[in-house]
Amino acid sequence: MIDDLIKANEYVISKIKENNEVILEMEEYAKEHNVPIVTKEVAEYLKFMIKSNKSKNILEVGTAIGYSGSVMLQGNEDVTITTIEIDEDRYNEARVNFEKMGYSSRVNQILGDALVEIPKLDDTFDFIFIDAAKGKYMDFYKDSYKLLKKDGIIFIDNIMFRGYLYNEYPKRFKTIVRKLNEFIEYLHENEDFVLLPFGDGIGLVYNRGDKKHK
């Protein structure tokens, strides 16, 4: 089964054709500098989700170098994004990349800790993308859900953390693995949630709007 998934994933990636030079530059930069970005198939799924959900206003927790933000804006001219990054160097790299993509006017970049910055936001969002410190996923989720519109989607990337949730893991990651397992159990028990086993694991939450978030 695992071998089949790996082969299927390789096949999917082989069919993705990216011609945007800035996107390709960011992919190469991330590879050279060990910057975690979404995988190619996840990037394609993100673009699809933004279009199919008819999203207009996005919140991103974890900008990194602006790759996922650029992907979500790519081909979606009427979409805006508020994106939060705690690392100043990556914040600045993302700003340059957004400028290269021509997206500066549609991006509200925030430098700071998302747990501090999210509660300050006076806005609502129809799509929220979370890809930041894994040990804080539950906190990021609960804070950002309060800003999610009815029928909105929360897209949680890397939720299976390098496969460590179902394989052996270094002892130093014990707490993160435990927290992510608890987070996934919480989502299954309390939310309209689906866990998808591609990329490094994706979690999707749908807000029906018929209950207040716990």
| Percent residues over pLDDT 70 in the chain | 89
For residue 12, count other CB atoms closer than 10 A to its CB: 15
Q: What is the pTM assigned to this prediction?
A: 0.90
Q: Which residues are annotated as a binding site for Mg(2+)?
A: 131, 157-158
pLDDT above 90: residue 69: yes
- Residue 171 sits at φ, ψ, to 5 deg, of -60, -30
- The CATH number of 20-206, from 3.40.190.10, 3.40.50.300, 3.90.1010.10, 3.40.50.150, is 3.40.50.150
- Residues forming the annotated binding site for S-adenosyl-L-methionine? 38, 68, 85, 113-114, 131
What is residue 6's predicted lDDT score, i.e. its pLDDT? 66
Which amino acid is it at 158? N
Mean pLDDT highest for which of 14-18, 34-38, 62-66, 172-176? 62-66
| Helices 21-33 + 88-101 axis angle, to 10 | 160
The domain spans of the chain are 20-206
Q: Is the pLDDT of residue 4 over 60?
A: no
What residues form the annotated binding site?
38, 68, 85, 113-114, 131, 157-158
What is the distance between the alpha carbons of residues 66 and 97, in angstroms, rounded to a whole number?
Answer: 6
- Check if the beta carbon of residue 30 is closer than 8 Å to that of residue 67: yes
DSSP 10: H
